[in-house]
Structure 1
Amino acid sequence: MRKCAIMLVLLFAAFSALAQKPIKGIVKDSNGKAIESVNVSLKDPEGNIINFTRTNSNGEFSISLKNDQITGYKIEASSIGYKKLSMVVADVNKNYDLVLQNSETALETVTVKNRPSLTANGDTLNYRPSDFADKQDRSIGDVLKKMPGIEVAENGKISYNGKSISNLYVDGDNLLDDKYNIGTKSIPQSAVDKVQVIQNDQPIKMMRKNNMSDDVALNLVIKDDAKLKVMGDATVGAGMPNRFDENLTAMLFNKKLKFINNIKGNNIGNDPGIDLTSHNLSDYLKRLDNNKPSGLLSTGAAGVPSLPQSRYLFNKAGLINLNNLYKFNQDLQLRANLSYLYDQRDQQYNKFSETYLSGQTISYSESQNNAINPQKLRVQFNLNGNADKYYLNNNFVLDYAPYKTSSGFVINNVAANQILRQETIDISNEFNYRKKLKSDDVINLYSYLNRTTQPETLNITPGLNADILNNGNSYLGLNQYIKIPTWYTNNYASFAFVKNNFVQTYKAGFNVQQQQLNSELYRKQNNQQTELVSGNAVNDLDWLKTKLYTEANYDFTNDKIKAGLSLPLSYNQINYSDDVNQLDKSLHRLFLNPSFNARYQTSPENYVTANYAFRNDLGGIDDVYRGTVLKNYRSLFANNAPISESETHNIGAGFNFRKAMQMLFINLTANYSDAKLNTISSYSLSNNIQQRVVLPLNNHIRTLSFSANASKYLFDLRSTVSAGVTFSQSKYDQLQNNELFAFNAQTVSYKVGIEAKLTNFINWSYLANFAVTDNKAKVAGAIKTNFQQLRQQSTLAITTVRNVYLNLSAEHLFTHQSTQPNLKYLFADMNIKYKLLKMKTDLEFGVTNLANIKRFDAIYLSANSLTTGTYYIPGRVAMLKATFNF
């Protein structure tokens, strides 16, 4: 009987198995690649799960069906990183192919009552400004400083976890074109719903499918109610002694039209020109490959003190800054960015400098009283078409920048006056067109055209250094004239072959640079006669540089790895001649400049990077002119060498770590470079003048750097804390007074900071930076210099009574140098604000520099020189302002 029962059970199971009809299929991604371990469920019309399984390594699945009743049944496939897909079951005998589309992966949001939270969707991290803002924060820039992982420098530059952002978008649109300071200063934090950090930002739509970008961008998501109206504010301020501060800003952010338009002016030390800062300009200029000198002449000024600009600047400045973007449709837009800056600055300082050489010390003292008048006019029009199948970008820019400096100066007890005039006109047009074919391959056409003129004149009275410039006879003055007009064009075509996760791009192009350097140095004798200082003080140099290049790029990306190999090959030809200086030379070089970069995703939030690059570079027209140029009143420059050539090896690595839900961010970077050069600057120094001649001599510049930074939000303390350390070391040679010195310069800097909410009505911020610099020449008995500086900044923000806000801030600077007395400064400021809510008006009274410090001493170190400077700075300033918000 037992055997019969067992046989019956087995037969019943066998018949049951035969009665079950499996539903089979395969799950793939959008590229046709099979996906393993996808959850596949069979659901009845009410949504109940009848059966489920997972796909195997080939993406295949099989789900048993117990009966033939399949009306309303669905197959549902889901996996992390893909959109959920449902498909109706119409035929049991059919094989079902399910194609899952990529999706941003939403990490679990930690929700704690009355505490900030972050959400992460794939490459996008979302901050809510309301979680970090307090009642005194007006603009979104005030809140960004408090967000863990985000750092805002004094010049407004924004970084995320150690990497500078490439763009600041406003509701996804690039309104400000890298000059985003006006946005962070003007957009009210209350109008921003989310601040999105977009890693691997790729603004070109057609490139997002095979995204090779490593850029990081910020996107400000504007609240719906803020998009319906024009917002802004108007400020009127007056103060003592004879101070004013005015501002008018209007902005609109709707789907068709976006603008931020601003007019401002002040004489309280706030430089409105900071709003025109292009934070990624150096990267852009490298891509253009248009090497040209920015200006050969100067007034020999000592630079600026190591203080925030608002503490030392004597100015009277005004700025018109207009940024408007109109969208014809979702894929086509026109942007206009227009600005004009007019500035008047006064600067007064004294300086003493010593340069330590074998058996001698070169020293000089000087003072200057400068009146500086910079102006900047910029007109930019950008037409951008950005669709799934094409990309069009045309950018026209006109820059006009007249610059005048008048100064009286004394050098080693000899008084004189100088006037420097510079006038730059720069016109360019950049065109870029991409087209995606049916095969997903991409054609790219690019053209850039630029014309620049930059005449400069330097007038000095009376004549200086008569023993060198006038045979020892006194004379009335010097006039240095320079012109460097430039034509430049860069053009290429490329074709990208796209196959799944692998992209091959092949490029071919050419660029041409044509320049002239015309200069004359005249002296005026006591009898009013004007003549050339010498036959060697003239340049009439023609320069033609052409480059033919091809480039192969190979990029691979998947969920874990992103890697790129670049193999640019170029043929470079330079011809330059100057009949006056009997110069007629040419250069021909074939360069291969390979580079490699890789990124490995160690976890959904963390990754490591590595990169290597080898690069050959050629100098420019300012490396080869033979005639002497009076660069400033104490510097004569010339060249007696071939075109500068350098070969640079660069290797780097990094690690980015984050736990977004715990608001912890850490980044580590290391970099080493070795540059081999074929020329060196030889300086002949005396107590009155320095002369530089570039000579042929092989030498190296080796640099090593390391940095580690961390940022964390402490939930219990309602505080964002940050810390970092940076190490840098440089080894290089200098040729001074016919002696070759090998130098070693090393700097270690530390920083700590906190943004804390002590109570519901008291906020406190603190930032400290401590740097130690060591310099030493590698010769017996060389002087070793050690420089230490501590800078501390702190602010206490207090809500005293309803709608009354008090801010107390202080800044402490301490400088130690072994051979000099210690320098100590403490600056203190006070500000009180009252909000008239019904009138949407803020009344504000503030006093800066309460201690009325009017003189600031500073120390500057280089490898074998020490400079001490005394700057005269504005004293106490009291301001009363009224700001109306609309």
Structure 2
Amino acid sequence: MKHIYTTLALLCLCFSGFSQNSTIKGNIQDSTDNELVGATAILYYQADSLLAGFALTNEFGQFEIPKVAPGNYYLQLSYIGFENQSVSLDKDQFDGEVDLGTIKLKNANIIDGVEIRQAPLEIRKDTIVYDATVFNTRPNATVEDLLKQLPGIEVEDDGSITAQGEQVENVLVDGKKFFGDDPKIATKNLPAEAVQNVEVYDQKSEKAEFTGVEDGQTQKTINLDLKDDHKNGVFGNINVGGGTDELYTGKASLNRFSPGLQLSTIVSRNNINDQAFTFRDYIGMNGGGGFVPTGGGGARVMMVTGDVPGGQNLESGINTSTAAGVNLNASLSDKTELHADYFFNQADNNFERFTNRQELLTNGFISTNENNLGNSVSDNHRMSLDFEFKLDSMNQIEFNNRLVYSEQDYFANNFSETIGVDGNLSNDNTTFENNTGDSFGIESELFYKHRFKKKGRSFFAEAGINTNNSDFINLTEATTNLIEQSESVLLNQQLNADDASTLLSGSVSYTEPVGEDKYLQFDYALSNDTDNSDRDFFDIVSGQDVFNDQLSNEFEKDYISHRPGMSYRFIKGKHNVNVGMAYEFSNLEGATDLSSTQIDKDFNQLLPSFNWRIELDDSKNLNFNYSSSLNEPGIRQLQPAVDNSNPLNVYVGNPNLDAETQHNVRANFFTFDRFSFTNVFAFINASYTADKIVNAQVFDENNIRTTTPVNTDGQLSSSANVSFSKPIRSIRTRVRVGTNVNYTDGEVFINGNNTDFNTFNHGYRLNLSNTNDEKIDLNLSGRWNFNNQQYAENEALDQSFLTQRYAFNTDFTIKEHWELGSSMNYNVYSEEQFGADNTFAIWNAYLKRSLWDNIAEVRLSVNDILSENTGINRTNNLNYSQEEISNVIGQYGMVSFRYNIRSGRNKEAKGDGNTPRPPRGEGRPRGNGDNRPPPPPQ
């Protein structure tokens, strides 16, 4: 707990930095006594020229800068077309109010450039805008490196991004798609120097964006606003490297941007676990293609899911990754926009892992130790083609299409032992499995948008189709030894599976203004989801395939949903409120060829919604949202067939499942003090799911598990995230602290007995980084994550563990063109649940030489200098806890060469590699070329 107390103490120290003593005011006029409206008054500290305050004059030419502590300052007054004027202030003048009276500015015949201090971020309604030029990065840094410096944004080791506590789902470039919806491709391949602003917001659905009425469907999105010299020119880079143990890396990217064209290409290949794509590219279309083994140790049966084949973590093992793609955004005419992209990736993963899994029983634990050795190869092709037609000022059509095709091959040798509650070996299992298959998916959406002549009146319609098909073959050879019975169960089996799904959807919406800033919206949505799952099992006897009619089955599911609704929206001052109510009535039908089992269920549910956004001022906003939804069970959950292809884990579907009803409440708050550069992000989310579907597990006398999905009374889940950032000028350091909390309360079935449970996971993070240093960057950070799970039935089943991580990073300019860098990550996994601490340190270092005015660089790097890297992953689930240790690359050295491609205005601004870097993290001098003050927040 001492780490928590330290964090809280630092928070208190940071907040104590605010002082509120005096107000500086004055009146700005021209030489003819006319008041200058919108003139800028900027207050700087005399000691270091850092920004201390900011104000604009009102309609009477008056300004006020409140809450100024006594000290020595100078005040810069500016207005377009007038000479700047500076007023010096010393601490003796601060005795209550500081009234400077009337100050006259002189007309300027020649305007000289002036350097001003720009606030690092601002709020524009529901968008947070970071000035990327303020957060300086090292030469050849990527957008990912830039994002790591921005307050409120976290970048994990695997490249995933969270902003204000939420996962970032999409990264745009100048408001346009960049290789579909994979954030990693943009952040890992675009240079940080190309970015002017980073905009973070919740991207609404097409319908909500057009009508202005919230529907609860949002994606946390980042938009990269490029600098002018990158909006029109060619830029990119080539990076190649070779290392010890036959390791290598190669990557090339080229971008050609102009006002009406964005064209980008990417090619990469490496065997050092550097992936330029996320799991969504590895599996193809989300939830649509791919297949994975399911269950615990021993044989696995392939299921159509959105997971990775074999369940392996692509960050572990030895991975060879290949990727290539092209992205195009083009204005075909004044009324037609085109987006197209193609992306290919291959992931070749050799894995070896040891898994310790503890299954919960009411009277103790069953332990399973498994060794798994194998290989997985996946080839994926993804293509998008989108059109936007602006027929006229009143009508617009969008047509979006996506195609995915993937081929996958997985094989593994597994050995597992299961130890019962009494501590004795109950069974062991040896399995060889080989799975091959392919999947294909198409998604198309058509949108029609119409605005009437009457302001606020609109009509919106959409229609879509989503089809997915997958075929795979699973070969399993398994031997299970039942120790107490002194017998063995042999399995030599082939599964041929064919899965197909089609989703048809459509909706219409009409919005009518009913007063000033008041609107009524009427909606109707219809969807039809059809799924078919065909499983043919064959026992291999004497080399012959013998059809197994007991396991083979075919199941069909058809779900039709109707959803009429109405909502009311009004805007008054700082408040934007939306209240809605929908009624969903749906029918679920299912049938299997195994029996006369028929599913025919009707669901009816009122689904209210509420959204309230409060714009407190230019630097604060607050947002509340409530939404509800009806979620039908999946086809595998309903399928009543017995699946015992894994002899240690039998799965049986439940045709009696009801649909879940989910209620979600969320709120977020953001505030930024542009004078002290202090910001606070806060996010809270809570959801209650009635008829929550969970997996009930039962173990027999041989500790063989049978899993069946069942409905529970309900489950409550909540999460919160708070982030605080503030520069401490006296020690030239920026402090970032944060905390996240997750709480879940519900019902779980342990060996056939239901019991209440709750999980309480909480984490804390601290980051210290230096500012205003031209030669050295320092960054210290710590993270502490606590995982706790409690059960009402038996306190002895409670689980908890602590994960700690400490990191140190430094980059040092040792002389002209030479740079030295080092990083250390120290990881501690506590001994609870797994018997021993797991502690290791990863130390990396590099030496870099810039060439030819920073056009190129040569880098020598050494990874895992101490040879301690360990692939470890711990998870807590409702029914079990698990630790997985897998193989990693380990220590290696590498020499790499990078060449930057620049043209146009960007080439002229490339720098000489010896230009002193401006202060980092809390504002730097910037010239805008026209003597204008920084614009006020919008």
* TM value normalised by structure 2: 0.75
Q: Does 1:393 align with 2:398?
A: yes
Q: Does 1:144 align with 2:158?
A: no
Q: How does 1:848-867 map to 2 (within 5 A)?
A: 848-853=863-868, 855-856=870-871, 859-863=874-878, 865-867=880-882
How far apart in 2 are the matches of 1:568 and 1:432? 21
**2:188 alignment partner in structure 1:** 185
Determine if contact 1:773/1:787 at 8 Å carries over to the other structure: yes
Cα deviation, residue 275, structure 1: 9.2
Q: Does 1:655 align with 2:669?
A: yes
Residue identity opposite 2:518 in structure 1: F
1:665-694 CA distance string (max 9 Å, x none):
212233333222176533123566422123
**1:402 alignment partner in structure 2:** 407
**2:272 alignment partner in structure 1:** 268
Q: Does 1:500 align with 2:516?
A: yes
1:446-501 CA distance string (max 9 Å, x none):
11012111223321114547999x99775461223322211221012221113531
Cα deviation, residue 258, structure 1: 0.6
Residue identity opposite 2:720 in structure 1: F
Cα deviation, residue 567, structure 1: 1.6
**1:787 alignment partner in structure 2:** 801
Cα deviation, residue 150, structure 1: 3.6
Structure 2 CA distance for partners of 1:79 and 1:337, relative to 1, 3 Å:
farther
Q: How does 1:327-726 map to 2 (within 5 A)?
A: 327-385=331-389, 388-412=393-417, 413-440=428-455, 441-464=457-480, 475=490, 477-498=492-513, 499-525=515-541, 527-533=542-548, 535-630=549-644, 632=646, 634-677=648-691, 680-685=694-699, 689-695=704-710, 698-726=712-740
Structure 2 CA distance for partners of 1:151 and 1:798, relative to 1, 3 Å:
same
How far apart in 2 are the matches of 1:50 and 1:763? 46
Residue identity opposite 1:881 in structure 2: S
1:489-535 CA distance string (max 9 Å, x none):
1012221113531222212232112221111333223x3343355x4
How far apart in 2 are the matches of 1:868 and 1:141? 30
Q: Gapped runs of 5+ residues in structure 2?
A: 1-28, 38-58, 64-112, 299-306, 418-427, 902-938
1:204-235 CA distance string (max 9 Å, x none):
89968968698775443333333443211111
Determine if contact 1:833/1:842 at 8 Å carries over to the other structure: yes
Residue identity opposite 1:348 in structure 2: E
Determine if contact 1:200/1:212 at 8 Å carries over to the other structure: no
Cα deviation, residue 157, structure 1: 4.4
Structure 2 CA distance for partners of 1:536 and 1:338, relative to 1, 3 Å:
same
How far apart in 2 are the matches of 1:514 and 1:614? 23
1:317-369 CA distance string (max 9 Å, x none):
21012111111245421111100111211110112222242335322221010
Max Rg structure? 1
Q: Does 1:739 align with 2:753?
A: yes
Cα deviation, residue 147, structure 1: 2.7
**1:84 alignment partner in structure 2:** none
Residue identity opposite 1:398 in structure 2: L
Residue identity opposite 1:421 in structure 2: T
How far apart in 2 are the matches of 1:211 and 1:682? 40
Structure 2 CA distance for partners of 1:199 and 1:585, relative to 1, 3 Å:
closer
Residue identity opposite 2:146 in structure 1: V
Determine if contact 2:567/2:581 at 8 Å carries over to the other structure: yes
Residue identity opposite 2:173 in structure 1: V
**1:831 alignment partner in structure 2:** 846
**1:748 alignment partner in structure 2:** 762
Determine if contact 2:438/2:471 at 8 Å carries over to the other structure: yes
**1:815 alignment partner in structure 2:** 829
1:766-814 CA distance string (max 9 Å, x none):
2221011222221245333221110122211111111111110011111
With 414-423 and 146-155 compared, the bigger mean Cα shift is at 146-155
Structure 2 CA distance for partners of 1:294 and 1:574, relative to 1, 3 Å:
farther
Q: Tell me the secondary structure at the aligned position of residue 273 of structure 1.
A: coil
**1:245 alignment partner in structure 2:** 249
Residue identity opposite 1:374 in structure 2: S
Structure 2 CA distance for partners of 1:558 and 1:293, relative to 1, 3 Å:
farther
Over aligned residue pairs, what C-alpha RMSD do you find? Answer: 3.8
Q: Percent identity among equivalent residues?
A: 15
**1:131 alignment partner in structure 2:** 134
Residue identity opposite 2:461 in structure 1: L
Structure 2 CA distance for partners of 1:258 and 1:857, relative to 1, 3 Å:
closer
Q: How does 1:7-18 map to 2 (within 5 A)?
A: none
How far apart in 2 are the matches of 1:839 and 1:759? 20
Residue identity opposite 1:620 in structure 2: G
Determine if contact 1:550/1:570 at 8 Å carries over to the other structure: yes
Q: Tell me the secondary structure at the aligned position of residue 710 of structure 1.
A: strand
With 809-818 and 325-334 compared, the bigger mean Cα shift is at 325-334
Q: How does 1:155-194 map to 2 (within 5 A)?
A: 155-162=158-165, 167-192=170-195, 194=196
Q: Tell me the secondary structure at the aligned position of residue 485 of structure 1.
A: strand
